[in-house]
Amino acid sequence: MQGRTSLSLRGEALLASPPFPEYLQEHFDRLDGIFDSVTNAEGYIPLSVAENKLPGLRLLERMAEVSQIPARVLGYDSMIGSMPFRHQLANFLGRTVFGRKIEPKQLAVLAGAGSILEILFHNLCDPGDGVLVPTPSYAGFWADLETRDKTCIVPVATHSHDGFQLTPNLLDQAIAEAGRPVKALLFTNPNNPLGTVSSPAEIEAIIDWGAKTGVHLVFDEVYALSVYGDRSFTSCAQIRPELGESIHAIWAFSKDFGASGLRCGVLLSGNERLLQAMDSLGYWACVSGHTQYLLGEVISDDRWVDCYIADMQAGLDSAYREVTAALDGADLSYIPAAAGFFLLCDLRRFLAEPTWEAERALWRRLLEEGNVNLTPGESCHNAEPGFLRLCFASCPTDVVVAGVRRLASVLSGLDH
């Protein structure tokens, strides 16, 4: 009912159907009662949010060493990142993530990868256009691409029985069946939630497919440095030094630097008109000049950066080993991972039946009886119920292991 105090139709629609999933709401509601081995041993164990808190205060301590912040950070500057910051980013990202020389003018900086995605797809797609997203996928893409941009994600399902392989055939089939014009493919490497790293040949195949079909290719590379397995990361920018007009890459400080609260994401694109359009909307999502300055100083310190990355990767590796040992010990299956802060647990055998309803019931039972929050597979738009994501770096490893023990205890009564 429209009254004087009602919101716009858009505002009311957001209230009626909030863009964020239930597991996140539960997460924020339970944070007051978080686990503490001394004061709250039954407390909430959050294993559903992709954050890396293992490096602790290292970034903050390095930022605190930056002195004499220049007065220019107080004033207006380019809304897609000050030029000095983009120069620092070009050096840092060229050396560590993109694997080749980067031109600062090919970069746009906005408030996190989420803002980059939202504004990028606003500029690439019209309402109703399709965007291919291989699944399982990062849950947030639906909020980023559909809420205001009104694009329509076309999931490209990959399956457990063939190792979640994405093939050009699957992409062709998705375009053929989309029932709408498809403007882009959004491809995440390293993958969230699988924790896998694409090989150069796999990236090459996607780029060739993009060239053949003429759709934009957006590579989300926000976990580029968070690799700890045998396979090293290769960026699309390294495979195709000339990105052309239709290949774009995204990186952010949120994951690799454990700094999701600083809200700083980066777009690399060779498409000048796109960058101009990004600039036109930057004002509504820009990064504070103060944050840009501090981060710019930190990433210019090559020695500190290299040491931080090596330690961060070793920390992920050791957390992964401890947590998977606990899962093995509890006879809980998972898909082996080599990057990111998560792994997919295969809990299919604990479902009352192979349905989303049964997966929802299982997730809720683990939450209510175990006070442990996993990311439901349904939120990752998995093709098959029963694969729930466990994030192993958002709390200390002994707490994650305690969470695994709780999962095992709730699940022990449910083996089907």
Ligand X SMILES: Cc1ncc(COP(=O)(O)O)c(C=O)c1O
Query: With binding defined as CB under 6 A, does residue 222 bind ligand X?
Result: yes
Contact code string over 157-196 relative to ligand X, x by CB under 6 A: -------------------------------x---x----
Write down the least CB distance from residue 224 to ligand X, Å.
11
Taking the least distance from each CB to ligand X, the nearer of 136 and 370 is 136
| List 55, 140, 195, 210, residue binding ligand X (CB under 6 A) | 140
Asked whether position 375 contacts ligand X by CB under 6 A, the answer is no
| Range 252-281, binding ligand X (CB under 6 A) | 252, 254, 260, 265
The span of 106-114, 164-172, 198-206, 353-361 binding ligand X (CB under 6 A) equals 106-114
| Interface residue with ligand X, options 26, 149, 202, 220 (CB under 6 A) | 220
For residue 131, state whether it binds ligand X (rule: CB under 6 A).
no
- Of 19 and 33, nearer to ligand X (C-beta) is 19
| C-beta of 90 vs 267, nearer to ligand X | 267
User: Is 113 one of the binding residues for ligand X (CB under 6 A)?
Assistant: yes
Q: SS3 string of the chain?
A: CCCCCCCCHHHHHHHHCCCCCHHHHHHHHHHHHECECCCECCCEEECCCCCCCCCCCHHHHHHHCCCCCCHHHHCCCCCCCCHHHHHHHHHHHHHHCCCCCCCHHHEEEECHHHHHHHHHHHHHCCCCCEEEEEECCCCCHHHHHHCCCCCEEEEEECCHHHCCCCCHHHHHHHHHHCCCCEEEEEEECCCCCCCCCCCHHHHHHHHHHHHHHCCEEEEECCCCCCECCCCCCCCHHHHCCCCCCCEEEEEEHHHHCCCHHHCCEEEEECCHHHHHHHHHHHHHHCCCHHHHHHHHHHHCCHHHHHHHHHHHHHHHHHHHHHHHHHHHHCCCEECCCCECCEEEEECHHHCCCCCHHHHHHHHHHHHHHHCEECECCCCCCCCCCCEEEEECCCCCHHHHHHHHHHHHHHHCCCCC
Of 21, 55, 99, 114, the one binding ligand X (CB under 6 A) is 114
Candidate residues 55, 99, 112, 376; the one interacting with ligand X per rule CB under 6 A: 112
Give contact residues for ligand X (rule: CB under 6 A). 50, 112-114, 138, 140, 188, 192, 220, 222, 252, 254, 260, 265
